Amino acid sequence: MAHLAGKRLAFVGKLGGASLREARQIVRDEGGILVAPEDPQVDCLVLGEAELPIASSESQLDDRLLQAADAGRLEIWSETEFWERVGRLEAAPASRRYTAAMLAELLGLPVAVIRRWHRKGWLQPVEVIHRLAYFDFSQVAVARQLARLVADGMSPKSLERKLQQLARYLPAARQSLEQLSMIVEHGELLVRADRGLLGADGQWRFDFDRVASEGGNEDAAAPDVVSVTRSVRESGDEEAGEERSCREQAWEHEDRNELAEAVRWYRAALVEEGLQPDLCFQLAEVLYRLGDVGAARERYWVAVELDPDFVEARANLGCLLAECGEWEWAAAALEGALQTHPDYADAHFHLAEAYTHLGKSTEAHRHWQQFLRLVPDGPWSDEARRRLENATGPVQPS
């Protein structure tokens, strides 16, 4: 099967997974046509992941190419995506995939933060099953980097704006943040590249830290600050006058941790859009964070009524019912989630907990085992293994 039949493709930057000669031969074998990046008929650019493409060949990422990509006339793939498309890279195994809840536990972050980063497109799921997003380990690295930037003093709202601006000059920022080495300096978001530090305003800065770490070069003078393309105003100026939906207003207030106001806007969004299961779910999440457990439970119920296959709504409802001590109902909700998605590891974990409280050790044992089969080395695996050891003795690796 020719995966690239008729596609006019060009490579930009240094490849990490093969030599350029090997990659070009693969393109020919897969029916593709090799062209130069400046070819006006190029269909696709592949960005090598060994280094940042904009640092290695700035002229190949000019405004014409970026505008063509924005207009949909040109595809921009990461190197990883290229290998996947030609069948040279297998998908990550299920044991290396994480739900938002597991990713939050692994990184010590609130699950609401992971959901926000997913919603904004910063975290890219490798698969979505019945509205449940799964992330691979590359996205763990992205989440860690984002968390570090926030810890270094970049507010989430400012970080979002800077990333949106940065995507104008660095296509890799549109595709995947895992390729980028980002730092915060004097409140500004900068991306480290071979040439220096690229700011969200399109300006290059001299990277003194890199020069120092590499021993310095007394003969090399610090370059003047230059622009890789036209500067842009703060996105706040561009957004002036734009009308945002009630849903978007709710997201913005939630991002600022203004939860009571977010609830009002989520309710307004339900009036504006009608009953939508995802809106009910998001409203339930915020209500729970506000401590309004009764209202949160009701909204989870509504989400499930609207979409019986909404497995995360069922699982969260089960966890909330368990928190209220309603273990029979909790088990029923979690069993319902597993009927729709039998490999939902989180649901197995919480269902085992529910059956333990109900004194149903055989059922609990079965679900602890099933969880470990699915996630032998995840953030909750040690706890599941400990539960099994307490009941049956040491657990052998699966």
For 264-319, write each residue's pLDDT tens digit: 999 999 999 998 999 999 999 999 999 999 999 999 999 999 999 999 999 999 99
Question: What band does 157 get if pLDDT is binned at 50, 70 and 90?
Answer: low
**Residue 365 CB neighbour total at 10 angstroms:** 17
| Sequence-separated (6 or more) residues with CB below 8 Å from residue 50 | 13, 14, 15, 16
pTM of the model: 0.57
203: nearest Cα among 161, 160, 159, 170: 170
List C-alpha distances in Å: 219 to 211, 222, 366: 12, 10, 68
Length of the chain equals 398
- Looking at every residue in the chain, the average pLDDT score rounds to 75
Q: Is pLDDT of 109 > 50?
A: yes
Q: Which of 334, 263, 328, 327 is nearest to 304 (CA)?
A: 334
Residue pair 284/316 in contact by the 8 Å Cβ criterion: yes
Amino acid at 38: E
Distance CA 179, CA 54 (A): 12
Q: Which domains occur in the chain, in start order?
A: 8-85 (3.40.50.10190), 94-231 (1.10.1660.10), 244-307 (1.25.40.10), 326-398 (1.25.40.10)
- Using pLDDT thresholds of 50, 70 and 90, give the confidence band for residue 70: confident
Q: Quote the CA–CA distance of 125 and 127 in Å, as a whole number.
A: 5
Answer yes or no: are the C-beta atoms of 183 and 218 closer than 8 Å: no
> What's the pLDDT at 238?
40
The pLDDT of residue 288? 94
pLDDT at 168 over 50: yes
Round to whole Å and give the CA distance between 102 and 281: 18
pLDDT tens for each residue of 347-368 = 999 999 999 999 999 999 999 9
Range picked from 155-164, 173-182, 242-251, 293-302 for highest mean pLDDT: 293-302
Q: Is the pLDDT of residue 25 over 70?
A: yes
189: enclosing H helix or E strand: strand 188-193
Position 396 confidence tier, pLDDT thresholds 50, 70, 90: very low
Question: Does residue 130 surpass a pLDDT of 50?
Answer: yes
Residues with Cβ within 8 Å of 175's Cβ and at least 6 positions away in sequence, in order, are: 47, 76, 77, 78, 81
